[in-house]
Structure 1
């Protein structure tokens, strides 16, 4: 009962923020044409907020220990966890960004969907069961199972916080831009609103509340994209040939309106049906694909979800269900992307016929398809779902960042694995507030910046730092603490530096002249991830210390536990 005043004040704060945002709707959004306030979206969003605050209050009564806070006490089923992982993974970047990419580049836009999706078999067959059997709260528990705890946890916490930071900034800026355009709110109000709600979910409900928010959001999003895809296909007689032919015709017409000659316009129209228009240089394509694929297997907020299930069998089942839902989602996004060409670009009410520029920019393509197939009511629904998507992802990211600080740094490194009762949970909640405030401030500060590179940077860092350490610590008996820490930090540093020197940051964000970027490729993963693997190998095989010998000798015991689960607790992983 001692929690109820906190809960009431937290819920009141969030509701006041929601009410204040609704009352403030219609502020200047920096557009020459003022976007109308979408009251349908605001009402649906308010309903979602009220429902999830109710879940948070219920979850708070079940969140009494660190295990409850980090992993929902290990009591989530494989099916539920699969939906929650899908909810965590199907971010606004997936829903809005891939639809926009397909609308702009056609077939080539699928590189995102394919890259994101093919990371899951790695998790399914190589890592899911081992993670559950070896880990407790964070992926550092797994990577450091037989290593010296302080250096490996310092590295793991550093990698986690950097990935979380870049992901959080992108999500917060996305939330601000989306609500600014759709709901008619001021940008800063939308960012503060997301920050407040995220802090309430994580502070009081922990992983239990975050999981159920993600499950609800996944169900709403899957329903929304299913309806949109079916309606798009219905408008074209369920004929893909007719849909693609219409899309090519519209792209051709836009090119002709822009002043291109007939042959050039026809070529521009047909280009959406073939590869090569988005990532033209092979090394960038390979590097970008590696970042998306292996980054998936190194994202801390995804890896953390494997500790919420009771055993390894449920961990494997959760990956199966997550892959099923995510694969289904991406197939539908492809249809919706071509639907955006056929239904949005062809409608003067949504797009400029001469240039193909649409209201609110290309990221609004999915929302405008919703309006084209379901009117204002469905547009309001899909807008609210897009906002709920950002909330759910931000909550999961914040929880993984808080656990890195409280569990890896405070409880294990500072308190040497023996923190006073309740102190670890208290540090988690303090970190949650700090991360929430930082995310809001950075979200406001980066409003005018191009933040698309931040999401790819998060994946590149996860692929270059977290994945090599996790992969080799699980599967290579000669991996040592020295190799893992030096290799991991080299992967982390090189991915950051090379991204900074790439055209996406050096030119597009920092404003340097075109062609002046010292690193010519769009993604550093091919180089930074290779460097990490080579460094881990080199510094491990040359490590002749007594600690290294003991770590190699401990590998068979780790392998037995990883493969069989013998010694792994059913509830909390230890």
Structure 2
């Protein structure tokens, strides 16, 4: 921590500068959200921004939705501490967008309207399937929020030297309240503009840091990597596979499980899926993914340099000793290469990242409850649009409170790791259901419920009884050991289990084949006609 608040003058000015830059960002984006929210308060405006964004705009917002605290803080820290193995997160997250582009984006945009529940319930019995879709969306969103709120706690602990859990909890509460304000004021349109602003700021920041880093090493990547190996306790092994996931057969299986969750999870995340409804047609949905893929490619290439640069200039021991642990790598590096000014900018961008991503998650979860549960289950499709939007806003408040409590509980964990858990839960609950619904005519309501609940329950249970929660030095619950599942990521077991549940449940349930409905869904999915 001495490095963070290095000199007396820096120590006194750094917190004010950091919070000042952050306050300016919040003020500007709240104004943008307010301006964007004027002129429409219908369901389409609140849930899908009136489907008025172009593919380029939505693609940048998509990258902003996904480039979260896990990507900026967690992956940089994972690379700084574990080297090559930490970069595996970046590779998995990047490849995942190809799955989205090839299998999900266009068909989802053509078939649904506001939520994932519109797709999976299209030719099924509406009420049970929409209830399952809403349950899945709420659980996944809360899992994902844990990572973002934990990132907020880690960042403020580093910036203001807030060592106490109470102090960090207060900061998480403030971040959560600002996030809820974004959603209540702006809906999807305001949230999308916040994502666009944040994505541009984040990309400019990581590119700037990368250029500064290369400049310090004479624009030589090999020089940077050599210095990183010299300062790492693992030496040259930090540049090779196996530092984190090569110690035993279990850790190697853990790597496979992590890769599976990262690659298959993004195309199942509710807040990513919902963003395809903010464009007018399937062509723009495909363009969205292409733009998002371009943005995240640039970003993850930069995280490789930033992560190893943190090892070279800061050192993994100092990073792990900082209040935010691995999540402190990028801010500490910013201080080393650009002083308190760059630290303030990087910190503000990291805060912006957390706010924007949690806002996207909140509006997705609240929309799913209001549209799938309130409007289509309680009101049987006869809800007034104004009442539905009102319920969505009230739900956003409740979700915000749950996110704050969860973030306090998970504070201190590596945020990239927490996101990988959320991706495993998402892929387990949603992927099999989406693919079966879109491509298998025999699939029925029983199979949908088996796949969704089976994958969701299996993944959550395996996480609870894994070393993530108990039985390891870095577990969430200290001093007890009730784990029996050996892997830290459940994807290797829970994702195939979900597909199996959907398959078995379909054949155990009664046939619901409706040729007319199936033909209509196929035409809509492939052409967009009738959507």
Higher mean C-alpha displacement, 180-189 vs 337-346: 180-189
Shift of residue 290, structure 1, vs aligned partner? 0.9
C-alpha displacement of 1:509: 2.6
In the alignment, structure 1 residue 131 sits paired with structure 2 residue 108 = yes
Query: What is the 5 A alignment of 1:323-362?
Result: 323-345=293-315, 352=318, 357-358=321-322, 360-362=324-326
Deviations along 1:511-560, one digit per CA (max 9) or x if unpaired, are: 4677x731111211121111111111122134334xx122x653222111
Structure 1 counterpart SS, 2:513: helix
Q: Are the aligned partners of 2:42 and 2:385 in contact in 1 as well (CA < 8 Å)?
A: no
Confirm whether residue 178 of structure 1 aligns to residue 158 of structure 2: no
What's the CA shift string for 1:381-414, capped at 9, x where partnerless?
A: 0000000000000100100110111001001111
Q: 1:289 aligns with which of 243, 255, 259?
A: 259
In the TM superposition, what are the counterparts of 1:182-331 in structure 2 within 5 Å? 182-183=159-160, 186-251=167-232, 255=233, 268-280=234-246, 281-331=251-301
TM-score of the aligned structures, taking structure 1 as reference length:
0.85
C-alpha contact 1:453 1:504 (8 A) present in aligned 2? no
Q: Contact 1:202–1:395 at 8 Å: present in 2 too?
A: yes
Distance (Å, rounded) in 2 between the aligned partners of 1:242 and 1:449: 31
Partner in structure 1 of residue 500 of structure 2: 534
Q: CA separation in 2, counterparts of 1:205 and 1:451?
A: 27
CA apart distance, 1:448 = 6.5
Tell whether the 8 Å contact from 1:35 to 1:184 is kept in structure 2 after alignment. Answer: no
| C-alpha distance in 2 between matches for 1:58 and 1:282 | 50
- Identify the residue that residue 30 of structure 2 maps to in structure 1: 53
Q: Describe the shift of the 1:512–1:555 C-alpha distance in structure 2 as closer, same or farther (beyond 3 A).
A: farther
In structure 2, distance between residues paired with 1:191 and 1:35: 23
Give RMSD over aligned pairs: 2.1
Name the CA distance, whole Å, in 2 between partners of 1:35 and 1:461: 41
CA distance in 2, matches of 1:88, 1:415: 31
Which residue does the alignment assign to 2:6? none
- Counterpart of 1:517 (choices 457, 476, 483) is 483
Tell me the distance in 2 between the aligned counterparts of 1:206 and 1:359.
35
Deviations 1:88-117 (A, max 9, x none): 111011101111111111111111111111
The CA distance in 1 between the partners of 2:386 and 2:404, in whole Å, is 28
Matched residue count: 511
**How far is the alpha carbon of 1:289 from its aligned partner?**
0.9
In 1, the alpha carbon distance for the partners of 2:11 and 2:411 equals 18
Q: Which moved more, 1:146-155 or 1:187-196?
A: 187-196
The answer to whether residue 522 in structure 2 is matched with residue 556 in structure 1 is no
The alignment's TM-score, normalised by the length of structure 2, stands at 0.92
| Gapped regions of structure 2 (runs ≥ 5) | 1-9
Could you tell me which residue of structure 1 aligns to residue 139 of structure 2? 162
Which structure is larger by alpha-carbon Rg, 1 or 2? 1
Farther off after superposition, 335-344 or 35-44: 35-44
* Kept after mapping to 2: 8 A contact 1:457/1:496: no
| Cross-structure match for 1:81 | 58
Partner of 1:488: 452
Q: 1:70–1:403: 8 Å Cα contact kept in structure 2?
A: yes
Give distance in 2, aligned partners of 1:391 and 1:356.
Answer: 25
**Structure 1 pair 242–453 and aligned structure 2 pair: CA distance change class (3 A):** closer
Which one of the candidate residues 525, 528, 531 is aligned to 1:565? Answer: 528
CA deviation digits over 1:282-339, x for unaligned, max 9? Answer: 3222111111111111100110000000110000000000011011100000001111
The 3 A distance-change label for structure 1 pair 183 and 75 is: farther
The answer (yes or no) to whether the contact 1:450–1:509 under 8 Å persists in 2 is no
Deviation at 1:495, TM superposition (A): 0.6
| Kept in 2: contact 1:179–1:387 (CA 8 A) | no
Q: State the match for 1:31 in structure 2.
A: none
SS in 1 for 2:40: coil
Sort the Cα spacing of 1:441 and 1:91 in 2 relative to 1 into closer, same or farther, 3 A.
same
Q: 1:84 to 1:359 in 2, by over 3 A?
A: same
Closer, same or farther: CA 345–358 of 1 in aligned 2, 3 Å: farther
Is this contact kept in 2: 1:498–1:524, CA < 8 A? yes
CA distance in 2, matches of 1:376, 1:480: 58
Among 497, 501, 516, which residue is 2:461 paired with? 497
CA distance in 2: counterparts of 1:566 and 1:474, whole angstroms? 16
CA contact (8 A) 1:229 1:332 kept: yes
Structural mapping, 1:103-142, within 5 Å: 103-142=80-119
Shift of 1:437: 2.1
Q: 2:436 matched to 1:464?
A: no
CA distances 1:220-250 after superposition (whole Å, capped 9, x unpaired): 1100000100111111111111111111122
Is the Cα contact below 8 Å between 1:176 and 1:190 reproduced in 2? yes
